[in-house]
Each structure stands twice: as structure tokens, then as C-alpha cells.
Structure 1
Amino acid sequence: MRSFRCTVCSSTLYFENSVCLGCGSPVGFSRAERRVRVLGDDAVCVNARLNGCTWIVEAPGEQCGSCALTRTRPDDDNAVGLGRYALAEQAKRRLVFELDELGLPIVTREQDPDRGLAFDLLSSRDTPVTTGHADGVVTIDLAESDDAYRERLRIELDEPYRTMLGHLRHEIGHYYEMVLVLDEHSSWRGRVRDLFGDDTASYAEALDRHYAEGAPQGWQDAYVSQYATMHPYEDFAECFAHVLHVHDTVQTAGAFGLAVSVDAATLDFASLISAVWLPLSYALNQVNRSMGQQDLYPFVLAPTVLDKLALVGEIVAATGSASRVGRLRGTP
């Protein structure tokens, strides 16, 4: 996340601010400018009261680009679900911001009815909900917005890390593998399969095996998490999520003077990991421990894991570069 400043009083503005705490000026996030700025005659997203959205839109009554990606939300009479939905939308706005920063294309369901991106943010108040991805639709169980529920599952499943933003980054990894890697014309498919394994293996059998037997012995030598051992799809999505973790945290740390400020678009991911991420994550883990908290980044990156992250980082960087060139040329 970038650091933003109020143009009226120069106070620090944060991504979620609707008002400058220094001078009281109303502010909003401009996706076109990729910055938080003071509002003039601008309108903010119609969902401002519903989910706290502060994104600027072209005309009153419109949804912003992030909110418009949500296809389904809880009913108006579901107060608990709506509260959790607001937290999920807050995390989704950070996800969309990062995807824009990296230059990753977001094709909406309106643009591609069969495989465009959409989010179903569902309350499990009445019926069970399974978080996942299918053909561009990301489904999120909004119970994951509840800290107690999420922490209970984190402990039961022996996971070191579990957050709403982490879920969104993982599921969007499935989406980008679908559109960037698994397409028959993709130049990445062979390299991904060589490193991650055969994605044509039965997912249902892999799922049953994982929950019956757990992760294999020595999984830390080749996988970033136990869940990544289940199937090559999950391995790729877990690594994609970690690439987003790294990019966002490094950008934020650089913006606030906690790390060397780097342009991730000009630095290959392996170099970003070794030169910036590893020393930064070690330091942040120690800061968390000083406050009696768990490690901020509780993962060990073995050499094979680093190779996987580097390949996903290469895919992200190449896609972002191609997207930026396309915008400069005036193509979609």
C-alpha cells in the first residue's frame, strides 16, 4: 500500500479514510489516479453506508469498480451477515488495489459471461458455504470475517496464518492460473506443470486423501503450506497468495520507511525475496514477538518453494508489463 497525503493540510491519509483526520476534509480513493485525495464535486460509491466503501465514482448512485465485482451479498435483513460482508469488501478493495498496482487484468463478468471475475460473498447463517473458485467466480464464506470463528479453524487445521485477505489472495490465484496458465495457448503451462506437478490429476481424490491423511512427511522441503500439498492447483494458488503478500508488504514497508523502497516491476521476484523480503520478514516477526504476538509471516521458504514463488512472480511481472504496454498503446 502506498502512503497518501492530504492536499489541504499534508496530513497522512490512509487507504480506508473517508475524512482527513488533520483538517476534516472529505476524502476518497480514486482508482484512476490510484490515490486517496480530497473530494471536490466528486461522488463516492453508492455502497458507502452499506459496506464503508470510499471509492470515487463518476456519478452519484453508481457502484465503484471493486463493489461492482460482487455478484451476491447477504440479504438486507441479515445484520450479522452484512457486518461480515463489510469486512470482506474492505479486504477485497485492498486486493483490487494490489492487482491494479501489479498490472494484472481484471475481466468482469459483464465482459466475459463465462469466465469473467465475480465474487459471491455469502452468509452461512442459513446454509453451509464453501469458500472456493469456479470458472471466474470466487465464493467466500463470510463467517471467515469473524475473528473467533477464523481462529478456531486456524487451530483445528493446524494453519500458521488465516485471514480474509489471505483467502481472497488464494482464490484469486486460482482465477489467474485459469486465465494465464491453463489456457491451451499459454506459454507458461509447461513450466508450471514441470515445477508444480500434473494439474490433470483428480482433484476429488486429492481432496479426500488430504483430509484423510494430511500432508506428507517432509512437506516443508517443497511446499509453502500443508494445504499446498493437496493438489497442484492448491500449490499454485498458495504460492500466488504469497507473491501478493510479499509485493504488498514490501510496498507498504517502503512507503513508510521500514524497508528499502523498490519498484517491484523492475526487480525480479527472486531478487525481491533475497534482498528485501527475507530481512524485512525476519524483522517484522521479531517486532510482533516483542508485542507478544505471533509471527507476522510464519513461513519457512525452502529452496524449492523459492523456485515456485519465483516462477509465479515471473508470471505476474510479465503479465503486468504486457498489460502496461497495452494501455500505453491504447489496446484493452
Structure 2
Amino acid sequence: MKLFSCQCCQQALYFENTTCESCHHPVGYLPGLSALTALEPAGHGRWHPMEPQVRNAELVYCSNHDHDACNWLTTPSQTGQPPVCFACRFNRTIPNLEDPKNLERWRKIEVAKHRLFYTLMRLKLPIRSWREDPNNGLAFNFLDDAPDGSAPVMTGHNNGLVTLAIREADDAERERMRVEMGEYYRTLLGHFRHEIGHYYWNVLVRDAGRLESCRAIFGDDSQDYQDALQRHYNNPPPEDWRERHVSSYATSHPWEDFAETWAHYLHIVSTLETAWAYGVTIHPGIPDPSTLSTDGPMNDPYLTATFDEIMDAWVPLTSAVNSLNRSMGLADFYPFVLTAGVREKLAFIHALIRETQALR
């Protein structure tokens, strides 16, 4: 995530801001420009962005701004329906907001989902909604369990439909599940990045003639998925799973391997952009710092950095931040080992995205 600044007073702004804390101008996000902009009133609930490229536009907040769940801007509705921004158009079902605890859950979910969309748009990936393509378009259902506990919602993906169990927005519940599942890492943003990997397997692999090249790296996805999951949950992973997989769950089936690897690629480029925005360089004070040093700023990790540049920057950054976390008594920021086998898969994802960008 890059840094933003207020066009009025130059105060630093952050992605979720709705107001500049310095000059108190309202703030909104312009998805087409990947920019936050201070706003001036244009009357009738409309706003003039102070961003020079769209200074004369009249825009409105997404209607989910009324719930403090979105700060994105869009054009005024021409149909009389509430205006909905690009990211929120993909919502098919949101939680029942009559339940007071669901509003806070939904807000947390939307923070993660909007960060996902920031990344997808920065990567210039194709995104078709369920309204455009009812059979395979992207949609989100944010669902709660049945009140009597008889039908727990399972987070997952099915032909473009991403279902997220809203209990994942409860920190204590999510941590309980992380420990129960033996996971290093479990976050709302991680869920979104994983499930969107399944969507892009459909779009960029299955539907784009890349099945054989993908199978050469990730394995034969034609094996029965449910049987593979059952074997995974009934048996420990192979002892050498770290040699070829970024997580033990990735060993369950090639689809899950692809989605896990995709999620990690998004983790990496997003975090590197943040480090890049802050001008972070790593120069450890050891006799031979060469393998743990970065000079920065690197090329844009979303669009122009090579895979080797990304890896060369990622390893020193994670080493440094892991050490900082340990100094605070916290778990490692990135507790994963990117072996040669995992890097080969990440390189496939990188090449897949760069090929897609070149066609757009």
C-alpha cells in the first residue's frame, strides 16, 4: 500500500481515512487513479475532488459510506438507486445489520476487501462481477452461522462466488481457529487473497489455455478435490512438504497450492510497496551483510519489478521485520520459508500476472 497526502495541507493520509486529521477536509478514494483526495462540497451531497486530474468532477461517496464501511468515490446514480462504488458492486450478500455486532464485523471485512481490490487494480488484473457474468463472475457473500449452530458457514470459493464466514471478523474466534488448524497465519485479508486465487485460477489458467503449464508446476488438478481434502485432514502432511509448498494446506490439492501461492505473492508485492513508499532500506551491521541488504527504492513491485528483484528485496525485509517483532515479544511477521520449490511456484504466478498485464 502506498502513502497518500492531503491536497489541501499535505498531511499524510492512509487508505481508510475519511477525514484529514490536520485540516479536517473530508477525504475519499479515487479507484481509477489509486489516489486519496481531499474534497470540497459541490452541493446536494456531491463533492469536488481536490485531486488536480479530476478537479472539475462531481462525485459522491459510495452508499456504504453511510455505515462507515467504505470511503470510495463514484459517480452519482442515474437510476435513483443508492450509488455503489466499484469495490462494493461485487457484494452479493452482506451481514444482517439489525444485529449490532454485525456492523463492526462488516466494517472489518470491508477494510480487508477494499485492500484486496486496491491490489487487484494496481496489478491491472481483469475483474468481472457476478452482474456481468452470472455463471463465473466475482461475487461476495458475507454470511453468519445459523442461530442454532446447525449450519456453520464455511469460507470458500465456487465459480467466482467467494463466501466468507463473518465470524472470521471476531479476533478471538479467528485466533482460536488458527490454533486449531495449526496455521502460522490467519487474517481477513489473507482469506480474501487466498479465495481470489481460486477465482484467478479459473480466469487466468482454466479459461486462458494455461492448464498444462500450470499442472507442470502445481500438479494434476483433475484429481478428486473432496477426496484430496479428506486425505489432508485425516493424515499429517508429507515430512518434506516445505520443500515444495508454502504451507501444509497447500499440499492438499493443486488448486489449494495455487491459491496459497497466489495469496503469498499478493502479500509480498503489497508489503514491498509499503516498504518502498516509506523508503525502507536494509543494511544490517554484520561482517557480510550482502545477502540481507536492500538498497531501494526498487522498481514498482506491482508493475515493473522483476521476480528476482522482488525476491532480493523480500528476504532482507522479512528478516528485519521478523527481528523487530521478536524484540517486542511478538510472533514473526512472516513465518514462512521460501525454498527453491516455492520460489518456482511464485515465479509462475509472477509470470502469469506480467503476461496478463502485457495484454491489457
2:190 is aligned to 166
Alignment of 1:180-259 (within 5 A): 180-183=204-207, 185-186=208-209, 188-259=210-281
Deviation of the 1:270 alpha carbon: 3.4
Write the distance in 2 (CA, Å) between the matches of 1:195 and 1:32.
34
Write the distance in 2 (CA, Å) between the matches of 1:147 and 1:232.
29
Relative contact order (C-alpha < 8 Å, sep 6+): which is higher?
A: 1
1:326 is aligned to none
Alignment of 1:282-293 (within 5 A): 282-293=319-330
Taking structure 2 as the reference length, the TM-score comes to 0.86
Write the distance in 1 (CA, Å) between the matches of 2:18 and 2:106.
19
CA contact (8 A) 1:81 1:125 kept: no
Q: Which amino acid aligns with 1:301?
A: L
Moved more, 34-43 or 17-26: 34-43
1:59 is aligned to 76
Q: 1:110-169: per-residue Cα shift (whole Å, max 9, x none)? A: 211110100001112524101100010000011111111111111111111110000000
Q: Larger Cα Rg: Structure 1 or Structure 2?
A: 2
1:120 correspondence with 2:141: yes
1:306 correspondence with 2:343: yes
1:88 correspondence with 2:109: yes
User: Match for 2:67 among 50, 60, 78?
Assistant: 50
Write the distance in 2 (CA, Å) between the matches of 1:144 and 1:51.
19
Aligned residues: 320
Q: 1:24-64: per-residue Cα shift (whole Å, max 9, x none)? A: 11111011221001113232111113242110111163011
Q: 1:181-212: per-residue Cα shift (whole Å, max 9, x none)? A: 012x51x3212101110000001110110110
The secondary structure found in structure 2 opposite 1:63 is: coil
CA contact (8 A) 2:69 2:106 kept: no
Deviation of the 1:267 alpha carbon: 2.1
Write the distance in 2 (CA, Å) between the matches of 1:177 and 1:171.
10
1:19 correspondence with 2:19: yes
Q: Which amino acid aligns with 2:313?
A: V
Write the distance in 2 (CA, Å) between the matches of 1:258 and 1:322.
32
Which contiguous aligned blocks of 4+ residues in structure 1 show a shift greater than 6 angstroms?
Answer: none
Q: Which amino acid aligns with 2:332?
A: D
Q: 1:262-306: per-residue Cα shift (whole Å, max 9, x none)? A: 212222223311x21111111111111112111111101111001
Alpha-carbon spacing, 1:246–1:162, altered in 2? closer, same or farther (3 Å): same
Deviation of the 1:11 alpha carbon: 0.4
1:78 correspondence with 2:95: no
The secondary structure found in structure 2 opposite 1:39 is: strand
Deviation of the 1:107 alpha carbon: 0.6
Q: Which amino acid aligns with 1:55?
A: W
1:2 is aligned to 2
The secondary structure found in structure 2 opposite 1:306 is: helix
User: Match for 1:156 among 180, 193, 201?
Assistant: 180
Alpha-carbon spacing, 1:224–1:313, altered in 2? closer, same or farther (3 Å): same
Write the distance in 2 (CA, Å) between the matches of 1:268 and 1:103.
16
2:199 is aligned to 175
Write the distance in 2 (CA, Å) between the matches of 1:152 and 1:244.
25
Structure 2 gaps of 5+ residues are: 41-46, 48-58, 282-295
Write the distance in 1 (CA, Å) between the matches of 2:205 and 2:120.
17
Identity %: 43
Q: Which amino acid aligns with 1:78?
A: D
Deviation of the 1:76 alpha carbon: 2.8
1:296 is aligned to 333
